[in-house]
């Protein structure tokens, strides 16, 4: 899948190509190699051309040609949105302010404080839903939606509001209403928009990047900022079912990515029911061309993540639904071998049962599997083998997915505060609000005062940033004062 900078534009890549060409003509061997790699004759100085340099730049970003890159950028320009940017001038209409506060924008701005502010604004000015259909949709107000549709038959298919989204997007990305609100209110609001012609595959390219944020993406929610800041819609499954029944494409790469970080599989079960993994990738694939992942590529990413993070039920679900378990993953290993090398022999067996082949397993990997999945380890009898495991997998504590695995790994003498991406396992458990893992890590001696490498924050700080209230309460009692 192409890897592009935020808000990509053609002039940026043109400048890169010209710079690369200048470097090559001045004798820079690396630049010459980049240009000549697919066409050795281009290494001859007089054959170093701008078109060859453009081809090299396009290839470097994952495109098969410069025209393909240009086509994507031309297409993306009309679909690019940046909901994370504050308006250059204050909103003059409270309806626009409400929409900005109510909706997920997929940045660090997201969080309960904004949705609370949105709810307070709506309570103070309940008539703001009459100002725009975007606000009516974000508030999931069926009567206001009806009035807007009666006044303008095209309102449901017109991009509007502060983010230039279709109204259905405001409905699915809004988190202004939480708990206690009946599902029927949201379903009725969605049906009104759908019956008026709303496109179930509406969406936008976040900062111009090639994975679309669709109506369905908003329903399923979550993402890199965690479920506390980017929760799923309170009625995500019935609302997603309605959208899928009315034609939403189940091959939604951004929805899959956002929900892959936690082991819950409800979204996958529903998407498989409606054809996930089948078809040509739908309207977004046809629109974006090779810039968009194929369904097979989306699911390979899901399979690799599930293997690496010990999501055994997800591996089983993916295999049962026809995901190719024979194709090599990004590192060239088969899924079964990657699972075995990670000490997940149960997963390797599952993958082999579904045709994934038999993995090679050594003694260290068998011991690793034992530590992760069951049974006490006699560290005296297996002293050398355990020492070899500690050397080979120093951050093993990050692979533990159950409290029992935490205790076995602790008993085997592994570093409980080992860093992975600059943070400890306790940081990660706190961020995820996984109370069982937080308790288990604290019980075996993980340091609640450890600070991550990027922000200098404790696990308590991570829990606070992720709005994980129960984890905050648990960690506040044991975190030393700075």
User: Residue 110: helix, strand or coil by DSSP?
Assistant: coil
Q: Which residue ranges form the domains of the chain, and what is each CATH number?
A: 10-77 (no CATH), 94-279 (1.25.40.20), 296-361 (1.25.40.20), 364-476 (1.25.40.20)
Query: Cβ–Cβ contacts within 10 Å for residue 154, how many?
Result: 9
CA distance 440 to 426: 9
* DSSP per-residue letters across 165-203: B-HHHHHHHB-S--SS--HHHHHHHHHHHHHTT--TT-E
Q: Which two tokens stand for residue 327?
A: 């194709």
Query: Cβ–Cβ contacts within 10 Å for residue 266, how many?
Result: 13
Question: Per residue in 416-441, is it b (16+ CB within 10 Å) or e — as a string?
Answer: bbebeeebbbbbbbbbbbbeebbebb
Q: pTM surpassing 0.85?
A: yes
pLDDT by position in tens, the chain (length 482): 568 999 999 999 999 999 999 999 888 889 888 887 765 454 455 568 899 999 999 999 999 999 999 999 999 999 999 999 888 888 899 999 999 999 999 999 999 999 999 999 999 999 999 999 999 999 999 999 999 999 999 999 999 999 999 999 999 999 996 557 899 999 999 999 999 999 999 999 999 999 999 999 999 999 999 999 999 999 999 999 999 999 999 999 999 999 999 999 999 999 999 999 999 999 999 999 999 999 999 999 999 999 999 999 999 999 999 999 999 998 999 999 999 999 899 999 999 999 999 999 988 888 888 899 886 566 666 778 888 889 999 999 999 999 999 999 999 999 999 999 999 999 999 999 999 999 999 999 999 999 999 999 999 999 999 999 999 999 999 999 87
CA distance 104 to 224: 12
CB-CB contact of 376 with 346 (8 Å): no
Least Cα distance to 300 among 333, 272, 335 occurs for 335
CA distance 378 to 359: 26
């Amino acid at each position: 899948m192409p890897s592009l900078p935020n808000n990509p534009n053609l002039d940026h890549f043109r400048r890169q190509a010209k710079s690369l060409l200048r470097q090559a003509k001045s004798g820079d061997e690396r630049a010459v190699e980049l240009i000549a790699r697919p066409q050795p004759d281009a290494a001859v100085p007089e054959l170093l051309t701008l078109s060859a340099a453009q081809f090299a730049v396009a290839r470097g970003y994952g495109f098969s040609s410069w025209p393909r890159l240009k086509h994507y950028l031309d297409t993306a320009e009309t679909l690019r949105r940046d909901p994370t940017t504050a308006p250059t001038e204050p909103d003059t209409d409270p309806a626009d302010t409400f929409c900005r506060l109510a909706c997920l924008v997929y940045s660090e701005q997201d969080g309960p404080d904004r949705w609370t502010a949105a709810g307070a604004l709506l309570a103070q000015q309940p008539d703001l839903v009459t100002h725009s259909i975007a606000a009516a949709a974000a508030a999931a107000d069926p009567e206001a939606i009806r009035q807007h549709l009666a006044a303008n038959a095209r309102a449901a298919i017109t991009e509007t509001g502060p983010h230039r989204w279709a109204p259905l997007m405001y409905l699915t990305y809004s988190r202004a209403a939480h708990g206690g609100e009946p599902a029927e209110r949201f379903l009725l609001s969605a049906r009104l928009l759908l019956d008026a012609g709303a496109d179930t595959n509406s969406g936008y390219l976040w900062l111009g990047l090639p994975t679309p944020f669709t109506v369905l993406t908003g329903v399923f929610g979550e993402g890199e900022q965690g479920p506390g800041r980017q929760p799923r819609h309170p009625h995500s499954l019935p609302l997603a079912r309605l959208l899928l029944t009315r034609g939403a494409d189940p091959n939604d790469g951004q929805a899959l990515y956002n929900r892959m970080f936690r082991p819950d599989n409800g979204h996958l079960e529903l998407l498989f029911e409606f054809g996930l993994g089948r078809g040509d990738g739908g309207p977004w694939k046809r629109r974006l061309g090779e810039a968009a992942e194929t369904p097979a590529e989306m699911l390979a990413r899901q399979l690799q993540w599930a293997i690496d993070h010990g999501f055994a039920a997800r591996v089983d679900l993916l295999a049962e639904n026809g995901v190719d378990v024979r194709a090599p993953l990004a590192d060239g290993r088969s899924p079964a071998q990657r699972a075995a090398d990670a000490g997940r022999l149960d997963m390797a067996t599952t993958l082999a049962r579904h045709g994934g082949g038999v993995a090679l397993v050594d003694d260290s990997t068998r011991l690793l599997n034992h530590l992760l999945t069951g049974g006490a380890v006699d560290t005296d009898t297996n002293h050398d083998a355990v020492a070899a495991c500690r050397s080979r997998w120093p951050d093993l504590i990050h692979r533990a997915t159950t409290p029992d695995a935490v205790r076995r790994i602790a008993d085997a003498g592994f570093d409980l505060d080992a860093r992975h991406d600059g943070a400890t396992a306790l940081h990660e458990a706190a961020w995820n609000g996984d109370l069982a893992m937080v308790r288990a890590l604290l019980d075996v001696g993980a340091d609640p005062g450890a600070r991550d490498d990027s922000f200098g924050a404790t696990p308590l700080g991570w829990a606070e940033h992720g709005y994980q209230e129960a984890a905050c309460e648990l960690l506040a009692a044991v975190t030393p004062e700075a």
